[in-house]
Amino acid sequence: MGLIAPALLLALSFFTADDLAPQITTVLPRVVKPGDTVTVTGVSLGEERVDEVYLSDHKFDMKVKVLEQGPKVIKFRVPPFAKAGRMQLLMLMKPEKEGSDPKLLELPAYLLIEDTQEITQVQPPPAKGKKAKQEPQKDQEKQ
């Protein structure tokens, strides 16, 4: 009977998400373009645990605009100036105790930012009759 109380307390501690470090279960979509919205789901993602969200290529950390945040979801927008490449998700944690330093948590979650160069409409080649007319004009200009 002396073992039941500690076992019960241990079991209950697994059900309180507030005691856990943020954990991610899904990141959708995984391939994005600048300006797209990303949805991250998991546990302990609320404002009381996570202060800021970043994308990093390990040379430059970009703070993202959080659109929605709750205990199990964070939605953010990929910055419009984001460059193409693989980016890791980082979260700045709120300090556990007053006066302590906040911690930056590197999560095992990545996004692939695609290049935003759009293909413009290809101009059809000039008609053969027009090309023949343009060539003599160039010759006349040179003379």
DSSP string of 76-104?
EE--TTPPSEEEEEEEEEPPSSTTSPP-E
pLDDT digits (tens, 9 = 90+) for 54-86: 999 999 999 999 999 999 999 999 999 999 999
Number of H helices, E strands in the chain: 2, 9
pLDDT digits (tens, 9 = 90+) for 10-52: 444 444 444 678 999 999 999 999 999 999 999 999 999 999 9
pLDDT digits (tens, 9 = 90+) for 120-134: 566 677 777 655 555
pLDDT at 21: 85
Q: Has residue 5 got a pLDDT over 50?
A: no
Q: Has residue 2 got a pLDDT over 80?
A: no
Predicted TM-score of the model (pTM)? 0.67
CATH, range 21-114: 2.60.40.10
3-state secondary structure of 74: strand
